[in-house]
Amino acid sequence: MWTNFVYWLRLFEIYVLFIQLIKQTVSDMMAFLSLYLVIMVMLSSVMYTVNMNRAADKDSLYDEEIFSSSYSNVLFSQYIQSLGEFNLDNFSKATESDSGIDWTFFIASTLFVNLVIFNMLIAIMGDTFDRVFENKK
């Protein structure tokens, strides 16, 4: 019903440009979304491996109570991390012997996803915005 309502808004000239902008932005983001999914799976695999190699007495790096599958949990945790929600409670302390790998991975994944990938998304959306407004009547 709501998609039909938005489609119906094309009848009014004031909304035509914005509806074209939404359609073109979603279309242009498809390649980005597939790349984002691959990156999330890649980073989740690394986090899953790091977590499996931790000592048995340590808690998990990610919340294991969301889904029944542990890989689904780590994938969801990586997605939440990409949005800026960090759970650092179970990361190693500076006095522990294995404190480097989990923090190195956390900082690298945070910088890569939050800065590089999302700035690429902003550039894609800016290019789409310019292209749609260039064809404005």
| Residue 23 covered by a domain | no
Q: Which residue has the higher pLDDT, 14 or 45?
A: 45
Average pLDDT of the residues in 1-9 = 73
Q: Please report which confidence band the pLDDT of residue 20 belongs to, taking 50, 70 and 90 as the band edges.
A: confident
Tally the domains of the chain. 1
Range of the domain at 75: 32-134
Q: For 77-101, how does the pLDDT look when each residue is reduced to its tens digit (9 = 90+)?
A: 888 888 887 777 767 665 556 567 7
Q: Nearest-5° angle of CA 58, CA 61, CA 62?
A: 130
In sequence order, which ranges of the chain are alpha helices (DSSP H)? 2-8, 13-52, 70-82, 99-111, 118-134
Q: Please report which confidence band the pLDDT of residue 41 belongs to, taking 50, 70 and 90 as the band edges.
A: very high
| Residue 36 covered by a domain | yes
| Residue 4 covered by a domain | no
CA 88 to chain CA mean position, Å: 18
pLDDT for the residue 99: 60
| Residue 85 covered by a domain | yes
Read off the pTM: 0.71
Average pLDDT of the residues in 106-128 = 88
Phi/psi at 19 (5° precision): -70, -40
